[in-house]
Structure 1
Amino acid sequence: MGDTDTSPDFVDGVRVEWARTYPHVDTSPIEVIGRVNRISSLALHQLDRALAPSGVTRVEFEILCALARADRPLRASEVTAVTMTSGASTTKHADRLTRIGLLERLPFERDGRVVLLQLTPAGRDLVDAELPSRIERDRRLLDGLDEHERQALADLLRRVSRNAEASGS
């Protein structure tokens, strides 16, 4: 099995502070959700720093990644749905990505009012260059967990993710 270090972390400190301030409130959900949020914040901060030299923001990179994963050009509304940004934000970022040559807009054959978004070769090159580094940073976050522990964690988080998605609809 992996490392069983149970020394206190940032979230443990937060729970102690809440217990002192609100002793009657059960803050046990922070054990999980607080850590998920903290890990996400730290990972996204690392991604921001890594992307800085490329000149694209994290949201712009997520848009490029959504298009890179797709097997076809996507409508802006489809990009909005997978990146969980607002429609206005998607449009703003798509405009900038088009101006800097990473994205192109294509007419939709069935409806001239609809525009499709597609990576340019330069956009594909950027994703090809940055994605492996992002995956490696994520892999390092899982250091100390064996394959069984990683799978168990993924399974548990999948259940929490489904709960979040169900409560958000």
Structure 2
Amino acid sequence: MTAVNGGAAPGGGAAADGADTRSSAHLGRADDTVAGVVRQWQAVHPGLDTGPIEIIGRINRCAALFQQAEDAPLRRVGLTRPEFELLCALRRTGRELTPSEVARETFSSGAAVTKRLKQLTERALVERRGDTRDRRVAHVRLTDAGRDLVDGVLPEQLTYETAVLSGVDSAAQEELAVLLGELLGRLEGRLGAPRF
């Protein structure tokens, strides 16, 4: 969200004493970067409804921080998160996929998938074969090395991600998973995203 991703909103400081009390009540629940951004917006636009920033801004911020922090096991084996997600898509579906199917499975663009497939093919983690009936179509599958890599790294990656979430108790994690699932389902329905 533009209002949050820039880090600091116009004005640069905390909200004035006269900021919207409704928004201040929301902010009483957290003291994080987004709370500071909301206070800044309230300082320059006191009547602004900042509710969407408080949710979407935090989702965006968490996603950015997770991507910075969570990939330690992947870095050890020389993989980026998008490359690992591509390998995992091939592993969990258990079958060959076309590049367009890989793009849908990983929520990636076709160009990004093409680049990742090239890199992973060069590392002998995936292999491509042409379709016998249509030379324009390719099929992608894991090599034995690719499958072994996923099976070896995935448990370690999940352990690492469990540690990242360890500051949130299990009941809150379950509630958060349900709420995010509801939000994602609504967004996928509205935006026409594929469901699996």
TM-score (norm 2): 0.74
Say whether residues 1:67 and 2:78 are aligned partners.
no
Deviation at 1:71, TM superposition (A): 1.8
Structure 1 spans left out of the alignment, 5+ residues? 1-5
Structure 1 counterpart of 2:147: 124
Higher mean C-alpha displacement, 134-143 vs 117-126: 134-143
1:105–1:158 Cα change, 3 Å: same
- Partners in 2 of 1:46 and 1:145 — Cα distance? 16
Which residue is 1:85 aligned to? 108
The alpha-carbon deviation at position 37 of structure 1 amounts to 1.3
- Once the two structures are superposed, the pairs formed by residues 2-17 of structure 1 within 5 Å of their partners are 6=29, 8-17=31-40
Task: Give the distance between the partners of 1:46 and 1:127, measured in 2 at CA.
Answer: 19
Task: In structure 2, list runs of 5 or more residues that go unmatched.
Answer: 1-28
Percent sequence identity over aligned pairs: 42
1:164 to 187, 191, 194: 187
- For 2:157, the aligned partner's letter is R
**Higher Cα Rg, which structure:** 2
Aligned residue-pair number:
164
State the shift of 1:110 in Å. Answer: 5.2
> Per-residue CA shift, 1:81-140, capped at 9, x if unaligned?
111111121112101110111110133355443211111122122212322232123222
Aligned pair in 2 of structure 1 residues 25, 144: CA closer, same or farther (>3 Å)? same
C-alpha contact (below 8 Å) 2:89/2:102 kept by paired residues: yes
**Contact 2:70/2:161 (8 A) holds in 1:** no
The equivalent residue for 1:94 is 117
Whether 2:47 is the aligned partner of 1:44: answer no
In structure 2, what is the Cα distance between the partners aligned to 1:95 and 1:153? 37
What are the residue-to-residue correspondences of 1:127-142 with 2, within 5 Å?
127-142=150-165
Q: How many Å separate the matches in 2 of 1:46 and 1:132?
A: 17
For 1:105, what is the secondary structure of its paired residue?
Answer: strand
Matched, 1:108 2:111: no
SS in 1 for 2:137: strand
TM-score, scaled relative to structure 1 = 0.85
Is the CA contact (8 Å cut-off) linking 2:125 and 2:142 kept in structure 1? yes
Write the letter of the residue equivalent to 2:139. L
Deviation at 1:18, TM superposition (A): 1.6
The structure 1 segments of at least 4 consecutive aligned residues displaced by more than 6 Å after TM superposition are none
Task: Report the 3-state secondary structure (helix = DSSP H, G, I; strand = E; otherwise coil) of the residue aligned with 1:74.
Answer: coil
Q: CA RMSD in A?
A: 2.0
In structure 2, C-alpha distance between the alignment counterparts of 1:144 and 1:60, rounded to whole Å: 28
Report the CA distance shift for 1:129/1:156 in structure 2 as closer, same or farther (over 3 A).
same
